[in-house]
Chain A
Amino acid sequence: MESSQKNRKRKKGLAFKLIVSIFASIAVVFTFLFIYNYQLSRRIVEKNLKLNAENMVKNGVSQIEKILGSVQKVPDNYSKMIESTQFSKKAMMEILQQIIETNPEIFSAALAYEPYLLDPDEKFFMAYCYRSDHGCKLSFPDGGQYDYFTMDWYQIPRELNRPLWSEPFYDEGAGNIIKSTYSVPLYRKLSGEREFIGILRADVSLAWLQDFVNSIQVYETGYGFLISQTGTMVTHPIRDLIMNETIFSIAEEQGSKQLREIGRNMVRGETSFAEIEYHNVKTGLLSWIAYAPIELNGWSIGIVFPVNEFMADINRLFTRVLILGLSGMLFILLIIILISRTITSPLRSLNKASRKIAGGNFEVELPEIKTRDELKDLRDSFDYMQNQLAEYIVNLKETTSAREKIESELRIAREIQMGMIPHIFPPFPNLSQIDLYAMLKPAKEVGGDLYDFFLLNGNYLCFTIGDVSGKGVPASLFMAVTRTLLRSVASKLGSPASFVDSLNESLSYNNESSMFVTTFVGILNLQTGEIHYTNAGHNPPVIIRNNGNVEMLEISGLIPVGLFRDFKYTESSVNLNKGDKLFLYTDGVTEAEDTGKNLFSEERLMEILKNSAGEDPAGLIHQVMDNITLHVGDNVQSDDITMMSIIFYGED
C-alpha cells in the first residue's frame, strides 16, 4: 500500500511538473502579452483622447473669444469716439442709445464719470441705457445718486488702467440671467497729462456662453464648464454650482488637492491637455480635465473627459480577449494533461514490468506502444535488455556450475599436494642430533612451493626446498612431479649434485611448457654436521651460528632445474657446529607485499633471524611468520610462503 502511494506520488510528480512548467510558461507569456497589449491600447486611446481634448478646448476658446471679441469692439470703438470729442450730456445719451439699438448682443450700456467732472455740482453722473420690450430705455440709477465709484465695473478698470470684463453676476431684474460687463476706461489729455474721466460699460448676457459650453458633450457623462478669474463657476451642468461655488470650494468639499491645483492653474491662465485625475462632480468617477484660458477676460474653460467611458470599449474588448485567452489556456491545459498521460502511462507500465524483471521474472509481458517515438525505442530497449538479461542469466548459471566444479577439484588437488609434504613435527623424535621444523603457507590458489626431508642410511638427512615457476594447477603438478622424482633419485645414497642432475634430466625431458623449479638439495651428516648441498637457482639459505651470527650461504650461480638437460650441477659444503641452525625459505617470504607494494625484503629477514637466534626451529619460523603477517596486514597473500629450519645438536 505504501509503495502504491509512492507510485501515485511519482506519477503525479511528472504530470505536475509538466503541467506547472508548460502551463505556467504559457500563462506568463499570455499575461505579459495581454498586459502589454492592454497598456499599449490604453496609451493609444489616451493619446487620441488628449488630441481630442486639445481640439475641443481650443475650439471652445476660439468660439468664445470670437464672440467676446466682437462685443468688445463696440465699446472699444465708441470709447475712442467719446475721448476724441467734447460731447454734451445729451449727445452721450444718444451714443448709449445708439449702442443698444445697433448691437443686439449688448443688453445694456452705461456711461459713468468721475465726480464733478461734467458738472461741478454733481458728484455722480451715470447714464444707463437698457433694452426693453418698448425699445431703448434711458435712466439715471437711484435718481442720479447711485454711488458707483466703488463698484467693481468702475473701480477695477480705473485702478488697472485697462479695459476689463467683470466677474459674472446675476441680473435678477432681467430674469435671473448671468451677465458680465465689459468696462472701458475713458481718458482725456489735459495739458499733456492723460487723465481718467470715466467708464463706458457694456453688459452682455452670458446665456449664449452657457448654452455653448453646456452643448459640449463628451460621450455620455463628459461636460464642459467655465470659471471666472476668481474661480467662480460660470457654467456647469449642475445648475446649483453656478455662481454659488468656486472651483476651489468644490475642491474643498471633495477634499481634492488635485482639483484645487487644477483650479489654481486655470485661474493663472495655464493650459493643460494632459492626463489629470479628477473625480467628476457629476458622476464621482475618475476623469480627466483639460483646460485653457480665455485670454480676453481671463476666464478658463475646462472640459471633463470621462476616462472610464473612453476606456469602456477597450475594457470590453479586453474582457473578451481575456475570456478567449482563458478558454485557450484551459484547452492547452487539457492537451498538456493528455500528452503527459500518453507519456506517463506507458512509463508506469514499463516501470512495473522492470520491477518484475528485477525480481527475476524474465517472462513478463512489456506494454504495447503504438506510437513510433522515443517511448517506443525505450520499450524496445527494455525488450532487448529483458532478452539479454535472460540469456546472460542462463550463461551465468552454466558458468557458475562449471567453476564450482573446477574449484572443488582444485581443492582436492591442493589437499593431495599438501598431503605429499611431511607435516608431522618433530619428524624424528628419536633422533637427538637434530631438530627440524617446516611450514608451507599456501596462497589462495594452488602453488608450486615444496619442501621435503628424509633420512638416508639412517645417518644422513636429505632435505630440500623448492619453488616451481608460475602458479596454479600446472605449478602444483610440476611440484608434485619434482617431489616424487627427488624422492625416487634420492632413495639411494649419492651426492646432492647427482640428485639434482637426475632430477634435471627427468624434468627437462619433454618439458614443452618450459616450466622449471629452483631447488636447494642438502645432505647433512648427522655425526659431523657437514652439509653437502646443491643450490639450483634457489634463494640461498641462512646459517644461524650458535654464537648468534647469521650468514647467508654463497649464491651458487647454478640455474634452476628443468631448463637445460645437459647442464651439470656442482655441489658445495658447509659445516654446522653444535647449536648451529640452517634456515631455508622461498621467495614468498622476502617478496611478501604489504598494501603499499613494499616487499618484506632480505634485510628484514636477516634482522629477524639475528634477533631470534636463540629460538628453536619452530620458534624461529613462527617468529618470522608473525613478522610477515604483520607486514602483509590486510593485503592478500600472493605467493606461497615456505620456510624450513634445522638445528644441529650433534652427537652427545
Chain B
Amino acid sequence: MKKRSLLIALTTGMMLFLTNGCNHKSSQESTGTIDQSVNPESDTTKLRKISFLPYWVANAQFAGYYVAKEKGIYQKYGLDVEIIPFDPFHTSIKLMQKRKADFAAIWLLNAIQAKAEGTNIVNIAQFSTRSSLMLVTKKSSGINTLQDMNNKRAGIWNGYEMQPKSLFKKYDLNVEIVPIGSTNNLFLNDGVEITNASWFDEYHSIINAGYDPDELNTFFFADYGLNFLEDGIYCLSEVRMKEPELCTAFVKATAEGWVRAFHNPHEALDLVIEYARRSNLPVNRVHQKWMLDRYRDLYYSEGHTTTYLNEKDYLFAAGVLKDNGLIDEIPVFKEFYIPYDSNISK
C-alpha cells in the first residue's frame, strides 16, 4: 500500500533533523536516568517543546507515540511533543531546511545509507529486532516452498528489491522481479505469482481482499537469514551529546507509550483512527487492530520493549548494503549507535 514512497520519504526525511531544538537548554539539569531526571509534576509552561517525525502516515505502527503524547506520558517526562503529520509531498528539502524535527523513526537500512552519505544521525534506541517483511504466494499457484519460486515472477516494491534479491541470490533462484507500486493489485489479479508484503500491513490487506490465511503461503525474510531490522529512534548526534537526558526522556516515554498501547489496544486504536481521520486518510479499524497486534508480536515480549541494537544485526545489514553498492563504507557502529542510556565519555 505504501512502502514505495517510503524510501523517498526516508532518504530525504532523515536529513531534516533539526538542531534548533538542541540549542535550547533542557529545563532539567540532571543527567541521571530519566525517571529521576524528569519531574512528573512539571507544569505545561515548563515543558520542553520537541517534535517527532514518523516515516509514514498515521497508523497503528506509531501507536506508541500517539499514546505517549495523548495520554500524558511525554508530559510526565517533561516533554511537549509535536508529531509531524507525514506528507510525502512535503517531507522534502523545504521541511528539512526549516529544521523542525528533533527525533525521527527510521528503518535501519535507510538510516545506515543516510549515515554513510554523511548525515550526522545516531540511533539512540532500536525497537525492531525482527524484520516484518515477507513474500506471499497463493497456494493455488502451487508455490509452497522457496524452490517453487524458481522461474516465477515476483511483484516487489520499487526501490525495495535488495532484501528479496538477496534472498533469491542466497537460494540460487531465478525469479523475475516486477517492480510494483504501493498496492498488491497485480498479485490479486494474478499478474504475478509472488508479492512482497509486511506482516503488519499488506499481508492483512490481502486477507482483507478475501483470501483466507490458509489459502496463502508466507515466507519471512527473517526466517531465511535476512533479518533486516526496521524501526529505530534517531536524532542528530549533536543532540545525543548535548542533551542525553532529553533523549532518555523521549525514548523512555515512547517505550512506556508502547507498553500502554499494547495493554490498552482499544484506547490506542481510537487515537490512531482519530489521527488518521484528522489527516483525511482512509482508515479501517480492523486493519489497525491487526497492525497493533503484529507490532505487539514484533516489539513486545515479557512485559517490555527492547531498545537494543545488536552489532551483528547492524553489520549484517550494512554489509548487504555495501555488497549491493548502495554504500561505499560501513559507518562505524559506535558512531552509528549511541544508546540513550549509555554514558558518554567525551
The answer to whether A and B come from one shared complex is yes
| Residues in A224-238 with C-beta less than 8 Å from chain B | 229-231
A155 in contact with B210 given A249-B284, A252-B286 (CB within 8 Å): no
| Residues in A245-260 with C-beta less than 8 Å from chain B | 245-250, 252-253, 260
Additional A-B contacts beyond A150-B180, A152-B185 (4; CB < 8 A): A156-B185, A159-B191, A231-B209, A248-B209
* B45 within 8 A of partner (CB): no
* A151 within 8 A of partner (CB): yes
Do B209 and A267 touch (CB < 8 A)? yes
Nearest residue, chain B, Cβ from A241: B284
Do A244 and B286 touch (CB < 8 A)? no
Nearest residue, chain B, Cβ from A232: B209
Do B284 and A230 touch (CB < 8 A)? no
Do A160 and B191 touch (CB < 8 A)? yes
Do A246 and B189 touch (CB < 8 A)? no
Nearest residue, chain A, Cβ from B273: A244
A residues less than 8 Å from B284 (CB atoms)? 244-246, 249
Q: Report the bound CA distance from A164 to B185 in whole Å.
A: 12
Do B287 and A156 touch (CB < 8 A)? no
Q: Report the bound CA distance from A253 to B207 in whole Å.
A: 13
In order of increasing CB-CB distance, the 4 nearest A-B pairs are: A159-B191, A230-B209, A150-B181, A249-B286
**29 cross-chain CB contacts under 8 A:** A147-B158, A149-B179, A150-B4, A150-B181, A152-B183, A155-B178, A155-B186, A156-B191, A159-B186, A160-B189, A160-B190, A170-B282, A172-B280, A229-B188, A230-B188, A231-B208, A231-B210, A243-B282, A244-B283, A244-B284, A245-B286, A246-B210, A248-B207, A248-B209, A249-B285, A249-B287, A253-B286, A260-B210, A264-B212
* B291 within 8 A of partner (CB): no
| Residues in A116-153 with C-beta less than 8 Å from chain B | 147, 149-152
A residues less than 8 Å from B285 (CB atoms)? 249, 253
Q: Report the bound CA distance from A230 to B186 in whole Å.
A: 11
Do B192 and A159 touch (CB < 8 A)? yes
B residues less than 8 Å from A151 (CB atoms)? 181
Bitwise interface map of B from 180 to 217 toward A, beta carbon under 8 Å scored 1, else 0: 11010110111110000000000000011110100000
Nearest residue, chain A, Cβ from B276: A244
Q: Shortest Cβ distance from A143 into chain B, in angstroms?
A: 14
Q: Report the bound CA distance from A606 to B36 in whole Å.
A: 141
Nearest residue, chain A, Cβ from B180: A150
B residues less than 8 Å from A252 (CB atoms)? 208, 286
B residues less than 8 Å from A149 (CB atoms)? 179
Which among B179, B183, B208, B283 is the interface contact of A248 at CB below 8 angstroms?
Answer: B208
Q: Report the bound CA distance from A247 to B207 in whole Å.
A: 11
Do A155 and B283 touch (CB < 8 A)? no
Bitwise interface map of A from 145 to 177 toward B, beta carbon under 8 Å scored 1, else 0: 001011110011001100010010010100000
A residues less than 8 Å from B191 (CB atoms)? 155-156, 159-160
B residues less than 8 Å from A249 (CB atoms)? 208, 284-287
Chain B interface, >50% SS class: loop
B residues less than 8 Å from A246 (CB atoms)? 208-210, 284
* A198 within 8 A of partner (CB): no
Q: Shortest Cβ distance from A171 into chain B, in angstroms?
A: 13
Which among A156, A244, A248 is the interface contact of B189 at CB below 8 angstroms?
Answer: A156
Nearest residue, chain B, Cβ from A242: B282
Q: Report the bound CA distance from A369 to B178 in whole Å.
A: 106
Do B180 and A155 touch (CB < 8 A)? yes
A residues less than 8 Å from B286 (CB atoms)? 245, 249-250, 252-253
Do A230 and B158 touch (CB < 8 A)? no
* A263 within 8 A of partner (CB): yes
B residues less than 8 Å from A230 (CB atoms)? 185, 188, 208-210
Q: Report the bound CA distance from A249 to B204 in whole Å.
A: 10
Residue among A155, A247, A267 with max Cβ neighbours from chain B (10 Å): A155
Q: Report the bound CA distance from A250 to B285 in whole Å.
A: 9
Bitwise interface map of B from 267 to 291 toward A, beta carbon under 8 Å scored 1, else 0: 0000000000000101111110000
B residues less than 8 Å from A267 (CB atoms)? 209-210
B residues near A, CB below 8 A? 4, 158, 178-181, 183, 185-186, 188-192, 207-210, 212, 280, 282-287
Do B179 and A167 touch (CB < 8 A)? no
How many chain A residues sit at the interface, stated as a range, is 20 to 34
A residues less than 8 Å from B208 (CB atoms)? 230-231, 246, 248-249, 252
Q: Report the bound CA distance from A159 to B179 in whole Å.
A: 12
B residues less than 8 Å from A263 (CB atoms)? 210
B residues less than 8 Å from A152 (CB atoms)? 181, 183, 185-186
Q: Report the bound CA distance from A410 to B165 in whole Å.
A: 142
Which among B4, B158, B212, B282 is the interface contact of A244 at CB below 8 angstroms?
Answer: B282
Q: Report the bound CA distance from A159 to B191 in whole Å.
A: 6
A residues less than 8 Å from B280 (CB atoms)? 172
A residues less than 8 Å from B189 (CB atoms)? 156, 159-160, 164, 229
Q: Shortest Cβ distance from B61 into chain A, in angstroms?
A: 17
B residues less than 8 Å from A155 (CB atoms)? 178, 180-181, 186, 191
Q: Shortest Cβ distance from B203 into chain A, in angstroms?
A: 13
Residue among B181, B210, B283, B286 with max Cβ neighbours from chain A (10 Å): B210
Q: Shortest Cβ distance from A351 into chain B, in angstroms?
A: 77
A residues less than 8 Å from B188 (CB atoms)? 229-230
Nearest residue, chain A, Cβ from B181: A150
Q: Shortest Cβ distance from A265 into chain B, in angstroms?
A: 9
Q: Report the bound CA distance from A512 to B180 in whole Å.
A: 148
Q: Report the bound CA distance from A101 to B180 in whole Å.
A: 33
Q: Report the bound CA distance from A151 to B208 in whole Å.
A: 21
Q: Report the bound CA distance from A229 to B208 in whole Å.
A: 11
Q: Report the bound CA distance from A252 to B4 in whole Å.
A: 27
Nearest residue, chain A, Cβ from B285: A253
Nearest residue, chain B, Cβ from A245: B284
Q: Report the bound CA distance from A182 to B181 in whole Å.
A: 18
Q: Report the bound CA distance from A268 to B191 in whole Å.
A: 16
A residues less than 8 Å from B287 (CB atoms)? 249
A residues less than 8 Å from B181 (CB atoms)? 150-152, 155
Q: Shortest Cβ distance from B195 into chain A, in angstroms?
A: 12
Q: Shortest Cβ distance from A278 into chain B, in angstroms?
A: 16
Q: Shortest Cβ distance from A243 into chain B, in angstroms?
A: 5
Residue among A150, A160, A264 with max Cβ neighbours from chain B (10 Å): A150
A residues less than 8 Å from B210 (CB atoms)? 230-231, 246-248, 260, 263-264, 267-268
Nearest residue, chain A, Cβ from B159: A150
Q: Shortest Cβ distance from B5 into chain A, in angstroms?
A: 11
Nearest residue, chain B, Cβ from A162: B189
Q: Shortest Cβ distance from B95 into chain A, in angstroms?
A: 19
Nearest residue, chain B, Cβ from A167: B185
Q: Report the bound CA distance from A172 to B4 in whole Å.
A: 20
Nearest residue, chain A, Cβ from B206: A230
A residues less than 8 Å from B283 (CB atoms)? 244
A residues less than 8 Å from B183 (CB atoms)? 152, 167
B residues less than 8 Å from A243 (CB atoms)? 282
B residues less than 8 Å from A164 (CB atoms)? 189
A residues less than 8 Å from B192 (CB atoms)? 159
Q: Report the bound CA distance from A245 to B4 in whole Å.
A: 22
Q: Report the bound CA distance from A316 to B150 in whole Å.
A: 66
Do A156 and B186 touch (CB < 8 A)? yes
Q: Report the bound CA distance from A235 to B285 in whole Å.
A: 19
Residue among B192, B209, B282 with max Cβ neighbours from chain A (10 Å): B209
Q: Shortest Cβ distance from A162 into chain B, in angstroms?
A: 10
Nearest residue, chain A, Cβ from B190: A160
Q: Shortest Cβ distance from B187 into chain A, in angstroms?
A: 10
Q: Report the bound CA distance from A247 to B208 in whole Å.
A: 8
Nearest residue, chain B, Cβ from A151: B181
Q: Report the bound CA distance from A201 to B212 in whole Å.
A: 33
Nearest residue, chain A, Cβ from B179: A150
Q: Report the bound CA distance from A267 to B210 in whole Å.
A: 7
Residue among A156, A164, A253, A260 with max Cβ neighbours from chain B (10 Å): A156
Q: Shortest Cβ distance from A233 into chain B, in angstroms?
A: 10
Q: Shortest Cβ distance from B311 into chain A, in angstroms?
A: 36
A residues less than 8 Å from B158 (CB atoms)? 147, 150
Q: Report the bound CA distance from A150 to B186 in whole Å.
A: 10
Q: Shortest Cβ distance from B273 into chain A, in angstroms?
A: 10
Nearest residue, chain A, Cβ from B178: A159
